[in-house]
Amino acid sequence: MPRILGIDPGSLVTGYGVVDFAGRDLKYVASGTIVTGGGAFPARLETIFRGVEVLVAEHVPDEFAIENVFVSRNADSALKLGQARAAAICASFGRDLPVHEYTPREIKQAVVGRGGAPKEQVQHMVRTLLGLREALPADASDALAVALCHAFGREARQRLALAERKR
């Protein structure tokens, strides 16, 4: 059963979610947040890097999925988010994991069926799909949504690759 580590990057709080996935079977493994706190930005990036590095070593995922940067009105925020993503991605390099990136719209579409779904609806669907009773921190729930998005598209990508090889 492939294990997927999903990351919702943030320069103050980075969410993570780990799921096992095979066919239609989903299994919740873990989720939580890496809280960097305030302080110097390079120190926050190191906290993200070290935190994801520990997660990769602890959970030994087969694949790594992360939310892509979306550019908002604040260019400085977008740059910081991009650097937080880079710190998380670089932490996966030691295990040679394939890295998959998804936009917020793709994630919402995969989990809810609507790319413009509100955050609360995504959180509800994550809990429903994984059979979780209690509410999760928003960043952890978002990271699980990233992992689920990858899991749902994974099967389709495998079928396409098989069809391409048969040609």
Q: What is the pLDDT of residues 101-134, one digit of tens each?
A: 999 999 999 999 888 888 899 999 999 999 999 9
Determine the pLDDT at residue 161. 64
The domain total for the chain is: 1
Cα distance between residue 140 and residue 133, in whole Å: 15
Cα distance between residue 9 and residue 157, in whole Å: 24
CATH of the domain at 159: 3.30.420.10
Q: Which residues contact 30 (CB under 8 A, 6 or more apart)?
A: 16, 17, 18, 59
**Residue 36 structural domain:** 3-166
Residues classed as catalytic = 8, 67, 139
* 54-107 pLDDT, tens digit each: 999 999 999 999 999 776 677 888 888 999 999 999 999 988 899 999 999 999
Q: Looking at 10-14, 42-46, 97-101, 156-160, which range is the least confident one?
A: 156-160
Determine the pLDDT at residue 144. 97
Cβ-contact 149, 107 below 8 angstroms: yes
Give the angle subtended at the CA of 120 by the CAs of 106 and 10, to the nearest 5°: 65
Taking each helix axis from N to C terminus, what angle separates 119-130 and 138-166, rounded to the nearest 10 degrees?
A: 70
